[in-house]
Amino acid sequence: MRIVIAGGHGQIALRLERLLAARGDEPVGIVRDPGQRGDLEAVGAEAAVLDLESASVDEVAGVLEGAHAVVFAAGAGPDSGAGRKDTVDRAAAVLLADAAERAGVRRYVMVSAMGADAAHAGDEVFDVYLRAKGAADDAVRARPGLDWTILRPGMLTDDAGTGLVLLSPSTGRGPVPRDDVAAALAELLDTPSTAGLTLELISGNVPLAVAVRNVAGN
C-alpha cells in the first residue's frame, strides 16, 4: 500500500514509516522542512515537502493521488502557542480530510489525544490543544466519504515497545511507548473493519494484533 503520513518527521511517524517500509509498503511523509528529507529516506520513506498550514486542498490532494490510506500524525508540538494548536492540530487535519476526499482516498487514520473534546473547558494552552484535537476528530467523523479510525494514545514514552496493549473505546489513563503506537497504527491500517471506531491505547497485557482483532469484532 502507498500510505501518506502528515507530520512525517514526527517521532511516531518515523517509527511508522520504518515499519511500513520494512513490510513492503510505500510510506510517504509530508514534511514542511526539506532538510528533513534525509531522515525519512533513512527509514525507507519518500518525503513530500509541503506546509499544511499554507497549502491548498488541491496541493495536498496532488500528494495523495494513488494513495491507499492517509495518516494524520502532525502536531504543533508542546512548545507552540494556542494559535498553532488550531492551525496544525485542527485545521491541518481537516485539510487532509478535504484532500483525501478530493483524491478519492477513503481510509483515514487519525492520531488524536486522550481527553480530546471540542467542548473541553479551560484557558491554558493544553486546554486549547484538547479542544483543537476534539474538533478535528469531530470534523473527520462527520464525513461519510471517509473510512476513518481515530486512535487516542495515553502518555507517550520512549520506552521500547512491548507489543502488549490495552485498546478499547475507553481505557483509562496510562502510558504507552511510541513504538507501540506506531505498531498499532500499522495494524489498524491493515484492518479496515476498524473504520468508524474511536479507540484509546495504553500499555496492557494483550498482544497488539489480538487487541485490534478484538475491537474490530474479528
The set of catalytic residues is: 129
Radius of gyration of the CA atoms of the chain, in A: 16
Helix 11-22 with 178-189: angle, nearest 10 deg: 50
Is the separation of the CB atoms in 38 and 70 below 8 Å? no
Cα 81 to Cα 56, 76, 194: the distances in Å are 23, 8, 33
Cα 34 to Cα 8, 9, 51, 85: the distances in Å are 12, 11, 10, 22
In angstroms, the CA 202 to CA 168 distance is 9
